[in-house]
């Protein structure tokens, strides 16, 4: 009964929860908008990260996948320039340069790019 009397005295008492909800929603949307480039780059980089993890376990990355992985790492760095993407790209070029089955000119260009 006390709450009914309090709301009768103050008609704006029900507005405050909605205002709080609006402020929280606005803050969540702004944080998502600010974090979107990093989230997008991170999701785009996932196959590269998995291939690098597999490289540390198995010691090799398939040569036919290498150009696509390098392209994805470069695109991720273009979306959001973070050192993790550049280090991954550098490692991919280094692995390609150390591939003894590749032609010498491919190995040299990979060393120069890394």
Of the candidates 62, 43, 55, which has an alpha carbon nearest to the alpha carbon of residue 91?
A: 55
Question: Which two three-digit tokens encode residue 107?
Answer: 């190995």
For residue 35, name the pLDDT band (cuts at 50, 70, 90). Answer: very high
Query: pLDDT tens digits, residue range 67-79?
Result: 999 999 999 999 9
Q: Is the pTM of the predicted complex or chain greater than 0.85?
A: no
- Span 45-75, pLDDT tens digits: 999 999 999 999 988 888 889 999 999 999 9
The answer on pLDDT for 110 being more than 70 is no
Classify the phi-psi angles of 14: left when phi > 0, otherwise alpha if psi is within -120 to 50, otherwise beta: alpha
CA pair distance 53, 46, nearest whole angstrom? 11
């Amino acid at each position: 009964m006390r709450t009914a009397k309090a709301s009768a005295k103050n008609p704006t008492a029900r507005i405050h929860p909605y205002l709080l909800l609006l402020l929280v929603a606005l803050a969540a949307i702004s944080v998502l908008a600010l974090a979107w480039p990093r989230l997008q780059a991170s999701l785009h980089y996932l196959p590269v990260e998995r291939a690098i993890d597999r490289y540390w376990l198995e010691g090799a990355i398939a040569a036919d996948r290498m150009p696509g992985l390098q392209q994805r790492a470069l695109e991720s760095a273009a979306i959001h320039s973070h050192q993790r993407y550049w280090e991954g790209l550098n490692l991919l070029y280094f692995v390609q340069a150390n591939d003894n089955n590749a032609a010498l000119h491919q190995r040299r260009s990979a060393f120069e790019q890394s």
